[in-house]
Structure 1
Amino acid sequence: MGQAHRPRGVVGWANGWMFALRPSNRQRNLWAVSLLDVRPTDRVLEIGFGPGIAIAALARRATRGHVFGIDHSQAMVRHATRRNAAAIRAHRVHLTHASVERLPSFGDPLDAVLAVNSVGFWPDSVERLRELRRLLRPEGRIALVSQPRCPGATRDTTVRAAQELQDLLTRAGFTHPRVETLDLDPPVACVLATNPA
């Protein structure tokens, strides 16, 4: 469990390869990116990017924009840097070893934020989401994804996880929440919301 939370060392490096190669992880990340409706000039942030699958998909969409990523695992930063080397050299992708509690500066306001299976690890999630809302432009979008990984997780577990994410977003001041579901085992929930104007 600790390696899933903060992969490190040789085992963390191996976990990164496992995360990248597992079909359900790839499918979940690419699906989440598709829901975020990223435009060519968007500035997008992913929190907890792992091996960088969603970062690469975001960069393919934000062709004239910028994709930022933070992850608190140095092993994952190395994985994602390798996977996104060309976009990093082109200064379109910027990856940072950092935690959600100590966000670096991203310059201009962001258009969209993505977090896949990481919100449950954040301390004081509502305050973190308020900070992210301040970094988003008015009408900016956020997508929080959860595929429960607890033993015995079912569709009901996913429904409860989606409701919890929706509640967190509402408490943080986001509006127009909606839930999308990907039919994996267990199902994946993506809760999308908007930063009010």
Structure 2
Amino acid sequence: MGQFHHPRGVTGRVVGWIMAHRRSNRQRNVWAVSLLDVQPTDRVLEVGFGPGIAIAALAAKATRGHVYGIDHSELMVRQARRRNAAAVRAGRVHLIHTSVERLPDFGDPLDAILAVNNAGMWPDRVERLRDLRRLLRPAGRIALVSQPRCPGATRDTTDRAAEELKDLLTQAGFAHFRVEILDLDPPVACVLAENPKEESS
């Protein structure tokens, strides 16, 4: 399981191949991207992009925008760059080797942020979500996705994971929540929220 958290070495290359080719992984990533309602000119960030499946789906939607990605695995950065080589060369996809604790400067505010199956591994999760919220424009969207991997996971496990993510987002100052469920085994939860607009004085 440690390799799925931080792929590296020969085993990490195998893990990356599994993550890229497992049907349920591809379904989960493409589904999550579809929920974010990415527009052609959007600026989007994926945290923990792995082999770059969702990055490719985001780039297919943000055709005149920019897709950024950060991942703490140098191996995954290399795999994702190869998978998205044309968009990287065109300057539409930017993949950075760093962690969520060391967010780079993305210039202008972001329109949307995605994290698939990794928010549970972040240190100081509420603080990390606050950092991400500061990167979003007012009314910008975030989607946190969780497919529980513990033995015997059920729909109840997924529902509890969704509630935990919603609670973290609430503490971090997000609002306007929506929860979507993808019927896999076990089910996948996507918790969507917005960066609230500043109230006029």
TM value normalised by structure 1: 0.99
Distance 1:183 1:75 in 2: 30
Equivalences for residues 38-77 of structure 1 within 5 A = 38-77=38-77
Distance 1:81 1:115 in 2: 18
Q: Deviations over 1:113-153 (max 9, x none)?
A: 00000001100000000010000000000000000001111
Q: Deviations over 1:39-64 (max 9, x none)?
A: 00000000000000000000000000
Distance 1:51 1:149 in 2: 19
Distance 2:92 2:166 in 1: 31
Q: Report the Cα offset of residue 162 of structure 1.
A: 0.2
Distance 1:58 1:69 in 2: 10
Amino acid at match of 1:43: R
RMSD over equivalenced CA pairs, Å: 0.4
Q: Who is 1:145 aligned against? A: 145
Distance 2:86 2:4 in 1: 27
Amino acid at match of 1:191: V
Distance 1:97 1:152 in 2: 34
TM superposition outliers: structure 1 runs of 4+ over 3 Å: none
Distance 1:185 1:78 in 2: 30
Q: Secondary structure at 2:106's aligned position in 1?
A: coil
Amino acid at match of 2:130: R
Amino acid at match of 1:177: F
Equivalences for residues 96-175 of structure 1 within 5 A = 96-175=96-175
Q: Report the Cα offset of residue 96 of structure 1.
A: 0.4
Q: Who is 1:16 aligned against? A: 16
Amino acid at match of 2:184: L
Distance 1:18 1:132 in 2: 28
Distance 2:98 2:152 in 1: 32
Equivalences for residues 32-43 of structure 1 within 5 A = 32-43=32-43
Provide structure 1 residue ranges, at least 5 long, that are not aligned to the other structure: none
Q: Secondary structure at 2:153's aligned position in 1?
A: coil
Q: Deviations over 1:57-106 (max 9, x none)?
A: 00000000000000000111111000000000000000000000000111
Q: Report the Cα offset of residue 158 of structure 1.
A: 0.1
Distance 2:180 2:18 in 1: 26
Q: Secondary structure at 2:100's aligned position in 1?
A: coil
Amino acid at match of 2:117: N
Q: Report the Cα offset of residue 155 of structure 1.
A: 0.6
Count of residue pairs the alignment pairs up: 197
Amino acid at match of 1:64: R
Q: Deviations over 1:9-37 (max 9, x none)?
A: 11101100010000000000000000000
Distance 2:39 2:102 in 1: 27
- Percentage of pairs with the same residue: 79
Q: Secondary structure at 1:101's aligned position in 2?
A: helix
TM value normalised by structure 2: 0.97
